[in-house]
Structure 1
Amino acid sequence: MSRRGRRTGTDDRERRPIGPTIGLGRVALAVALSLSVAAPAARADPPRPPLPEPYATPFARNPAERIGWPEGAKPKAVGPFQVTLWADGLGYVRWLHELPNGDVLAAEAENVAGSGVVKLLRDADGDGRADPAFEFLRNEAGNLNQPFGMALVGSRLYVANTDGLWRYPYKAGANRIAASKGRKLLDLPSGGAGHWTRNVLASPDGRKLYVTVGSDTNAAENGVEPPAGRAAILEYDVARATSRVFASGLRNPNGLGWNPVTGKLWTAVNERDRLGDDLVPDFVTSVKKGGFYGWPYYYFGDNPDPRHAGERPDLADATLVPDLAVGAHTSSIGLAFYTGTAFPERYRGGMFIAQHGSWNRASPVGYRVAFVPFDANGSVAGAPQPFLKGFLADRDPPTAYGRPAGVIMLKDGSLLVSDDAGGRIWRIAAKGPDDGAPALGGLMLFDAARDKPIYPLGDGTVLDPAKLGTARFNVVAAASGPVGSVRFTLDGAEARVENDPPYSFAPHRVGANGRLRYDAWTPAQGVRTLVATPFSGPDATGVAGRPVSVTFTMR
């Protein structure tokens, strides 16, 4: 047996930017799109997820009935965390923003024109719960219309309403801002029966603001031309007071965040409905300046929406592939990178996603906060994993205690999660210091024929060689911090122990050109369960960390 790895038992291994200026008419919009894709720049797209055919399952209207939280009940965190009720008695609380002094702003609004208030929450006595809320900003002169995103830059507070971006003067410790002090900076497209939430995030230097604007329809059905400035992320230049489309083809972007390693802008996007239970997946992705992400004509690259078959073939090659699918109809809204040190090391640099929950799937999904591991290079290292669950009370018929909407990291390293359906805010904190146990971020499926990653391997993944273009696979476990070895088991039997990174299920080696080469593994058909367990020492010795288990299907 070599020091590098050991195997036991037997197995079957062997542009131009797209983005019209707000206010362009339909003809100008079409011209702008045509010009923008005339000479697309070469690019390297992320791996594409396995996707079913459109209409593989019928449309299902299956919303969860809101029943409220029983006395003493609360969500449950996966891992060494404690969950406490931080604030209750709130309205439809959707979005949160922590101020430099530790105060927290909470935007309450529903899909009703003119609704909404921004409340200020403060834990003045340090008992771990917010004191009674202040009405920080309310609609006094028609200038607060369904507020959602908030961003503080210096002494200026920006609030994104459904129909405009506003600026207010802010003074530390203030309990209220007079609405009359506000100034409207930018009109935002609104109206129709479409998506009303508008988020705002400042650039690290505070010179630019990024504003999300969802589409006004599901998929531009019935020949409706997508309006300019919707289904997009806008960029507002504070000094010049000008705006432009930063990225387009994003059906309903909500969460925004800066990747702490790469410095790139990321967003969480709700994708389109009525193509089946598993189409189209919501996603999180880095956002490219001038990038076009497909809506309403294509999705996840050049996959055509059948409702627009034959339309805009010029956009097929221009459509970017998002970084990570996070489940169809999960209604993934909130997004927060973890930049603190209070949580165990495997969470550092990763992303938390608030998945509000489905209304149109035969079996409900979402209703949780998921965690996505990232590696040291700031790239996705594994599939979404459950982090905070227990919002769904029953599945058939579906009922829900609450629904997570926003998620932020506080300065102390804990998380706050807004629960709009429950009118509550939950706090998630580590139970104690990091125990130092070895940890894995996730599992990545590799194409061993080309030595390239295919996609994060998660529960429910279907491996179809015909669609993936190969049956020669490998799986790599991403280490989060120091790991001495990883033991892989397949369907309950130990298959192999890998001592050296990258920790692969089938062996790997360094080729003559210095590149990593992966041996191939072709799983037997059927449902398989692969488990990777990290250890602090070589040959699966020392302290064992938490296993990562994935159940997938091989066709």
Structure 2
Amino acid sequence: MKLHLLATVAISTLAAWPAAAQPAPPAPNALDTLGAMHQTGSTADWPEVPQTGQKADQVKQNLTKIKLPPGFHISLYALVPDARHIAVGPQGVATFVGTRKSKVWVVTDRSRGGVGDEVKEFAPTLPKKIPNGVCFSKDGFLYIAEQNRVLEYAAAEFFYESADVVAGAVVPEGELIPKSEESYNHTARVCRVGPDNKLYIQLGQPYNVPAKDKFDLYRKVGMGGIIRMDRDGKNREVYAVGLRNPVGMDFSPKDKSLWTNDNQVDGMGDEQPPGEMDHITAPGQDFGFPWYGGGHTRTVEYKNDTPPANVVFPEVEQAAHAADLGLIFYTGSMFPKKYQGAIFSTQHGSWNRTTPVGARLLVTYVKEDGHVAGKSEPFAEGWNDNGYYLGRPVDVAQLPDGSLLVSDDLVGALYRIWYDGK
């Protein structure tokens, strides 16, 4: 039975769920058990993350150093350990936060006061491996892109109160990338469900610049690029190539084209190569890596090789080594008109630079013709305190009221940015 059908049955019999879900005999693994709509029988501890105390007080104090345009404010939304990419539930019930470790967190604003007052692990009975990428379909299915697997959770916003949550494999373990290419590096996947109702996944390749004998394999499977597939995992295809380590993407609400950030080659000096914000306007486009390390800067390893004639260069060149990650188009109405339709993106902050840059939230304005209006501009900054990081922003997402959430994996927190004009 397909997971979508299972989900339909589960949702239609929600009232009977506790009585119907009886403990089952041991299954080969937790995923099989949950997919068969049975309980795992786990009695594992399932605590909430404390939201008060010395750490919360210190984070709030640090936020007083963040500079924003007039009329904007920032506050601590929730303490969320190792917080990475964010998926706000389409019903506005809960927000899901991935990590580069083994947990996904679910954050609930039960008081509806603009604060996440409950934070606990999502689906703790199902082991996960680098579940960084979280994304929702409009009809309420949660997808989690792990290091080498993609799972689908039906009605996650409503079943997350249980430690057991129905799940099914969109891409089974070991089939997202070849097992031989699994690495500790560049394994934080990001996913989006596109306007075409397909699932898009960013696949970084693990090297600074890969050896030439990896080229054909990586192009074939989409490593160093973006793949897409049907939501059941069928009809997989490579959507974009020539991206070194893409982390963060969103679709334009105007023309449905895909925009992505890409992290560029290290070890080339403080000021080169630039980071990239790329605009994908058609399937199959090539954005130049590994011939180019970022922008028009050629890599040492491929300097004697002729690059393709059809390379698409960045829509925006960003500061070198700032680690551009999360990216969204702002579709809310809370912010002033100049920000509506603009791109908000994060810079995690540099490591490969004598003077660190980044650790901030940027805004990029998009013109009517679909191109950007100049360079990206700082919107929220101050986490980089003269080279000492008070925080490292990872992702940005929009809440139903039009405010923004920003994740920080150094501090382990979500911040909320809102506007009242005061």
Shorter-chain TM-score: what band? 0.7 to 0.9
Q: Residue 338 of structure 2: SS of its match in structure 1?
A: helix
Please name the residue that 1:505 is paired with. Answer: none
Count of equivalent residues: 352
Give the one of 404, 428, 432 matched to 2:421: 432
Please name the residue that 1:131 is paired with. Answer: 117
Please name the residue that 1:97 is paired with. Answer: 87
Please name the residue that 1:420 is paired with. Answer: 409
Hey, what's the Cα distance between the residues in 1 that align with 2:94 and 2:250?
A: 18
Which blocks of at least 5 consecutive residues in structure 1 are unaligned?
1-67, 434-555
Q: Residue 152 of structure 2: SS of its match in structure 1?
A: strand
Kept in 1: contact 2:202–2:226 (CA 8 A): yes
Matched, 1:255 2:240: no
1:132-184 deviations in whole A, cap 9, x for unaligned?
A: 2132223x454x21111222222422110011111122154333465673222
Matched, 1:225 2:218: no
Give the one of 147, 151, 163 matched to 2:135: 151
Matched, 1:380 2:372: yes
Please name the residue that 1:238 is paired with. Answer: 231
Please name the residue that 1:213 is paired with. Answer: 203
User: Where do residues 143-542 of structure 1 align in structure 2 (5 Å cutoff)?
Assistant: 144-153=128-137, 154-170=139-155, 172-176=157-161, 181-186=166-171, 187-189=175-177, 191-206=182-197, 208-220=198-210, 223=212, 225-226=214-215, 227-228=217-218, 229-238=222-231, 241-287=234-280, 288-299=282-293, 303-311=297-305, 313=306, 315-393=307-385, 395=386, 398-432=387-421
Which blocks of at least 5 consecutive residues in structure 2 are unaligned?
1-56
Kept in 2: contact 1:76–1:390 (CA 8 A): yes
TM-score (norm 2): 0.78
Task: Give percent identity, aligned residues only.
Answer: 30
Q: Residue 158 of structure 2: SS of its match in structure 1?
A: coil
Q: How far off is 1:268 after superposition?
A: 0.9
Q: How far off is 1:301 after superposition?
A: 6.8
Hey, what's the Cα distance between the residues in 2 that align with 1:301 and 1:384?
A: 15
Q: How far off is 1:306 after superposition?
A: 2.0
Hey, what's the Cα distance between the residues in 1 that align with 2:331 and 2:369?
A: 14
Which structure carries more strand by proportion? 1
Question: Which residue identity does 1:86 align to in structure 2?
Answer: Y
Hey, what's the Cα distance between the residues in 2 that align with 1:71 and 1:323?
A: 36
Which has the higher Rg, Structure 1 or Structure 2?
A: 1
Kept in 2: contact 1:135–1:176 (CA 8 A): no
Kept in 2: contact 1:76–1:83 (CA 8 A): no
Kept in 1: contact 2:183–2:206 (CA 8 A): yes
1:192-238 deviations in whole A, cap 9, x for unaligned?
A: 242011111011242x11100001101115x5524423101001123
Q: Residue 72 of structure 1: SS of its match in structure 2?
A: helix
- The 1:307–1:180 alpha-carbon spacing in structure 2 relative to 1, beyond 3 Å, is same
Hey, what's the Cα distance between the residues in 2 that align with 1:133 and 1:70?
A: 16
Kept in 1: contact 2:96–2:106 (CA 8 A): yes
Kept in 1: contact 2:251–2:259 (CA 8 A): yes
Hey, what's the Cα distance between the residues in 1 that align with 2:414 and 2:96?
A: 9
Kept in 1: contact 2:276–2:295 (CA 8 A): no
Hey, what's the Cα distance between the residues in 2 that align with 1:82 and 1:303?
A: 38
Kept in 1: contact 2:98–2:133 (CA 8 A): no
- The 1:328–1:69 alpha-carbon spacing in structure 2 relative to 1, beyond 3 Å, is farther
Kept in 2: contact 1:69–1:422 (CA 8 A): no
1:475-533 deviations in whole A, cap 9, x for unaligned?
A: xxxxxxxxxxxxxxxxxxxxxxxxxxxxxxxxxxxxxxxxxxxxxxxxxxxxxxxxxxx
Hey, what's the Cα distance between the residues in 2 that align with 1:180 and 1:260?
A: 32
Hey, what's the Cα distance between the residues in 2 that align with 1:71 and 1:85?
A: 6
Please name the residue that 1:106 is paired with. Answer: 96
Q: How far off is 1:414 after superposition?
A: 0.6
Which structure carries more helix by proportion? 2
Question: Which residue identity does 1:94 align to in structure 2?
Answer: R
